[in-house]
Structure 1
């Protein structure tokens, strides 16, 4: 293992002096923080034909491709080696016109794109007969521009190639004389897009498709079922299997001596306890699973070479029946009141079940927290916590975006940030932690990781997790059907379910639920404040921007609905009835506006929002000065809210209004309350409380009817 702190810190000479070609044994990541636990085999040196740069990347789930130097032309290979070493060592130099921010090292995630572009440049130069970059002149880079313009590529890719030439020129002061482009700064005064004549499009609305309600609600329900019912059975079976594999299961203590003696003990045990021998379905039907018996009786893994003919005859003469599965664990979880499967899990399907469970846990955490997929994939054991002051549940991890992110190293650790979550997220994390003993919650593979990406230091790739989620949906639909025969999780109209779609879907789901505006205003306003305070100015507002866009859409729809109902004769009563009518009427003329950015949506939201919140059996026409819920908080010494708190709503509040829709809801509740008040089996305090609530509902309903206008507006 190489200690990054002991790696030589030799840097190229300062600009303007003669710079020698780097030594062959120079470690290429000498000036980059290296991920803790990186093996020596991944610490590439300058002369290596393959450069591994992934150890310098922050994210454990990212698969950063290596640099394969044989793909570069021989004559210029040394020149581009020197360039990439300089780019790893130094910040990107400032362009002559000063447009670029100084002192920012290129992210490791940028290098794969540079490699592709630099390879195109190197091959073109080689085809033109160049053996040194210093021989390239102004007319040569103009010829390369002509070559790029003729390529059958998008304007964006052409602009990338132009930008790559400029980057190569910018590092000239860190390169040997032969490796410096011998031209002036290419195409000064023009952007790369202008050089290729590309049309620059303004940033548009987030086009990531939301997952439909029918699909997401069903997926979430089954994911939570996996966490609560199915998952513990899979976890327990996996633990038992691991113990059996290692010869550490308590049931194996009775097996001693030779393999023959262990088999005799097992036959005796099965006979006394009426247990069938493990089986499997083979080419000739049901067969005896000899390898699993070897596992059960504690034979070491390296000695399990199958059963001898004598051993097979021994079991055949035992007269014991053969089970259709070689099972581990038990089925204790229930779905719809029944065991979720009729037989225990077979060892052959256990790896697949573990992978699907991991996908379910990831889905629960990613969707319910609003975190980016990469942020979830990089969560580590022990990430559950809570706020000591408020008691809120939290998850701590690392931010998933930013050029300045670097992997933890012995002398550098990036600050953690919190996410406020619900208890289901903590339950999913707890189950993930109990599924294995690896440091990452979602390692590259729980069952069998590739040697290039060992599970101890690498997380599951995003593409692999997306495939796992799709496999989870397919498995649920194949094993559990609806009563009408339809899929348990219906297909989404927008296509394949990817983790990147969860954040937008959650924003819509919360805001579009009944009383969603109140929930969003309370929960996400609080999260916004907490992120700002906890993250010291480096907050990530993108999730809240999604909420803002969804909220804007809902408010526009709500204004249209409220206006239509008022025009159709809906009656409104209560102390804020006239204020409700005025706000809806003033907001009604809104005819829509093109929104090209999230900030535009936020500004439009401030202008269009009438601050009318439809709650359960009531409508709050929000005014902070007269809000009873806010006054109650202030009286207790708590901070006053900027949005209604329906859980602390007071019937005497001056902000209340009642529409016909609210009255209909109250009438439905009144029937149940009157039944509860007359229930002879209910405790007297419960009956008294129901009677008081029923009387309150009835008074509101009667006042609403009495205040209806003579022309028949409202409920009759």
Structure 2
């Protein structure tokens, strides 16, 4: 049916009631339009049009609105869902429509108490009505101008979409009402999410890596056992005596080892014993006297454990006594499996820079490993879907370069999920929460809750074992851990590194360095200044260490003498009562005024002089500031000095080149020539710029 035909029908016409409200929306794979909600339904299910795997299922529940306004609300939300927007308007997303419904419900509920019972037409709204509601919002949300602005904007939809609303259209633009808008400070252009402080991020990442690298094998072994006993067919032997013999043999093993019987609520766990013996529980029940006699000798355990030995160690002892079978136990497979999933999320989200939506769309096989001629991995990439800033609401395939820890976490997730499960962050099947929710992947809120529980478990483990590396509370809210803090925190650490803005722009898929710097923080916000201050402080501490150890006299290279001169002057300015012993505040002041502009690096130490810097000459429209390590030409630049550590790195580079040139079968002639040329350039560079003994 065309929209023109639809518009001719009265609201109560059957044709109107049978229209599918999502006909203007892209549907998820596997959904048919004819199976989706119709206009006449009391509840419209939006889930078929929610294209992100981790979104919670949303609905529009019209019976929750005042009865007299339900018809008007249906007309508005049908237009928002599936009708082309008026000129100058955009079609709102599904999540935005659900938020709009919440605010419209609040307005209509307020209006229902204000108006006479017989009035149903929203076009009769007056400026006095909206002025009164504006004052109501000021009382309802006195501290949140954003909530008040959003609530007012929802009402203004009745004016902006008036060409589609007929008798329910607003007859005036609320924007022209006195005090309808609010004057407020200019909106911040940078990301406002707080970052995690080092004292929180350090132990959080450390424990997450410990779960991935050391504890995962125990959890995965228990998971494999759990799957096996649910897929194996229980034995049903004809000879009942055989069951008796096997039960007695198992009881003898418990008596010999002194191991208590597996327990559940103070009694022997018959279900667990039946699964261990691969028989039905009634066969075990027939031998209750044997169980009771054994329990008199060895007792009954608090929990039942999988039989796999614990290999992971914490302070030299097993990190858990065992992994319990029942999901309510603290160390159960259900809980530890979710802790492991949370640990994998922390490693991936923090060390990759992926957004939550991008992490949640990681699928089995998303990891790609590149190897050199020796089959040694040297690059790992992951493929997922990107949503923000993309034209396709269903997401656009994108690739990120990651490190080996992320690859290990993905490998763990692929083993933790059943082979038939595609999404790596789908709900785990252990325990009572396996079937909650309809999302294919964990929602953002569910992951936040998971991380909160992971932190609580780790801190309990630290308390029990007397460890001091517990995780301080930061980045946590009443409703769960804010997953966005990982991306923000990574931006902070990247920005503090030389060339970090370039690395951040690449890792975050931003189209320019300026966009990344805006994400990491603007000059006005103080973020950038804080980064530069931290960088300067770190360099100042390095300078002092070099001066104390007389390391600046061991440098070689074109600018070695310049390093010695600058550091000598810096040391004189840093003297206090005959010693270089500075607190951070004083060191920051000295660095601000007398920074020697020496930048230690892995391959070279840069002694910045813009007039001689080859990286500066290679810039186009570059700005003053840090040297461009991405454009560094160390073998030719006169700003280079070499520490003994720098020389050692170059020496290892020569050894690596020699190994590759000697490999068999031989490389193509052109590549062999390039490696030989590189080897010769480095050899000449070291011969010219190092002392003989430094190469020994």
TM-score between both structures, scaled by the size of structure 2? 0.71
The answer for the alignment partner of 1:71 in structure 2 is: 64
Counterpart Cα distance in 2 of 1:697 and 1:332: 53
Deviation at 1:114, TM superposition (A): 0.8
Q: How does 1:130-529 map to 2 (within 5 A)?
A: 134=121, 136-137=123-124, 140-151=126-137, 152-154=139-141, 155-175=145-165, 177-181=166-170, 183-188=171-176, 195-203=180-188, 205-247=190-232, 256-257=237-238, 261-268=242-249, 271=252, 279-281=261-263, 287-299=267-279, 304=281, 308=285, 310-316=286-292, 321=298, 324=301, 325-331=303-309, 333-335=311-313, 338-341=316-319, 343-348=321-326, 349-386=332-369, 392-402=379-389, 405-407=392-394, 414-437=395-418, 438-447=421-430, 448-449=432-433, 453-454=437-438, 457-480=439-462, 485-492=466-473, 498-512=482-496, 516-517=497-498, 520=500, 523-524=503-504, 526-527=506-507
Q: Is the 8 A contact 2:211 2:340 kept in 1?
A: yes
SS in 2 for 1:460: coil
SS in 2 for 1:475: helix
Which of 19, 28, 31 is the equivalent residue of 1:26?
19
Counterpart Cα distance in 2 of 1:275 and 1:564: 58
Counterpart Cα distance in 2 of 1:620 and 1:171: 61
Q: Is the 8 A contact 2:46 2:57 kept in 1?
A: yes
The answer for the alignment partner of 2:671 in structure 1 is: none
Q: Is the 8 A contact 2:52 2:357 kept in 1?
A: yes
Unaligned segments of structure 2, at least 5 residues: 327-331, 574-594, 618-626, 653-682
Aligned residue pair count: 590
Q: Is the 8 A contact 1:381 1:440 kept in 2?
A: yes
TM-score between both structures, scaled by the size of structure 1? 0.69
In structure 2, the CA distance between the partners of 1:150 and 1:179, relative to structure 1 (3 Å rule), is closer
Counterpart Cα distance in 2 of 1:544 and 1:258: 75
Deviation at 1:342, TM superposition (A): 5.8
The answer for the alignment partner of 2:532 in structure 1 is: 555
Unaligned segments of structure 1, at least 5 residues: 1-9, 95-100, 408-413, 589-608, 632-640, 674-688, 702-716
Q: Aligned-residue CA RMSD in angstroms?
A: 4.8
1:266-307 deviation line (CA, Å, top 9, x unaligned): 4336647967777345665xx42211012223346xxx5796
Counterpart Cα distance in 2 of 1:92 and 1:262: 72
